[in-house]
Amino acid sequence: MASRRKSDELVATGKVKLNGKMVTELGTTIDPHVDVVEVGGKRVQITDENIYMVLNKPRGVLSTLEDPLERPTIQDLLPEDVKGLFPVGRLDWDSEGMILITNDGDFANRISHPKWGVPKTYLVKVNGQPTDRDLQKLVTGVSIIGGKVSAQEIQKIKRGADKYDWIKITITEGKNRQIRRMFEKINFDVLKLQRVAIGGLSIGKLGKGELKVLNETSLKKLFSYNKEMAKTKTRKPRQKSKKRI
């Protein structure tokens, strides 16, 4: 009925009961076929069917199920007849692109937790033209709020006749506003940000605001990056050759 973070909040505020007693410890383990869980006095029912979807989140939509300020959320884009769905990870209000939707908590944890190292790929438009040396700094690693982070792969791409550069960047961490803060460290602002792939699965031609169910083949692609990454070295910006004068 809620994301992992929201569930922690429900427990912390005393709204969750297990077999009639208030739950006080985060991460309490239960047997869903035996134990009775209530939230706000209402019993939570589980579904036996795991659901996996991908959504192309538009800009101006929160990656949450509800908002106290009543701004647009992902919940507005989900089917009303399917209960228990929640987003995996997040995209900022002003970012767009690929976000997974599921009711499978274990699956969500494997996708989003840093220890699994599932890569996420983004297309980023910046207010200028970073040099190869600038981009190399992001591969080497920079310190932002939350710790040191780095790009697994990064390269400039051609996208129309834009005077500003577009950068394709892949990361495995998922810190708050990470990519925007990474580019701030090399003195560039992010003008547009779109997530285009998670693991080995790309967003393809899915339109903004559109949602589709993932089949078994698509699910395998999410984790197919392991073999591919093992064969491919990190792509780094090419260094210009030095000339002697």
142 with 186: CB under 8 angstroms? Answer: yes
Residues 138 and 168: their CA atoms lie apart, in Å, by: 12
187: Cβ contacts below 8 Å, ≥ 6 apart: none
Amino acid at 169: I
Residue 185 burial (C-beta neighbours within 10 Å; 0-12, 13-18, 19+): middle
Give the active site residues.
Answer: 92
Q: From residue 188, how far is each of 134, 170, 176, 181, 209 by CA, in Å?
A: 10, 17, 18, 9, 29
Q: Which of 40, 7, 6 is nearest to 22 (CA)?
A: 40
